[in-house]
Chain A
């Protein structure tokens, strides 16, 4: 069986509603095809805002908790670097918050 792919058609992903829209499509595909792993193809995406990435990373975490794997493929190198930076920053904030809570 071929790995399930989902090609993102929007060139700019910036707002919370973009994340919600993407989440809807992903959930429908997972349910319909009964899959555990989904590849999201970002090859046509030129811009991701920080807000989008932040919300998107939250969603990836939620899927991970449900043992569903969403893999990002063909993301432009500079956007990949940016996403990685935000991921690291989020992890740092979470660690600091956990420390504060004891």
Chain B
């Protein structure tokens, strides 16, 4: 139904996101699934824009009748450095990913930071899978379980891969 892959410069993120969103809104998707995709893309793009200091990002989206893939790779500073710059001190890349998944914001300790946390909840509700790579660490999240492992090569920024079936979703209940 849609296949999209493109390297986008930092300054082009807004325009590209609106274009992608328009294309996706034109698809016939099960109830709640469009909200899931839009929510995921906007939150991930917001993370890149507001925290990553990336010069560019590679976006891949593949949605067919059964499955959905969203892959976003940025060449920014990575999760741990992003926290360190805000005086939040994860001891390593594992901890940085855990912080991000638990909803800890790099902006303000009291608020925000629900982007990846909510995407994880939504992906779980769809019985999908989410992979986050940053630094020397990879976290694979499936059925509420997180499996961490060391990566052989250092990931410069943050890589996020989300795979879900395309199906009905009670979005507003799942995102609570």
Contacts and interface: CB of A to CB of B under 8 A. Distances in A.
A71 interface: no
Given A16-B50, A89-B114, 11 more contacts: A15-B14, A15-B50, A16-B46, A49-B42, A49-B46, A50-B115, A50-B118, A51-B42, A51-B46, A58-B111, A78-B171
Interface of B: 14, 17-18, 21, 25, 35, 38-39, 42-43, 45-46, 49-50, 110-112, 114-115, 118, 171-172, 175-176
Given A50-B114, A54-B111, A12 B50 contact: no
B38 A47 contact: yes
Interface of A: 11-12, 14-17, 46-47, 49-51, 54, 58, 78, 81-82, 85, 89-90, 93-94, 97
A45 to B, nearest CB: 12
Contacts of A82: 172, 175
A90 B114 CA distance: 11
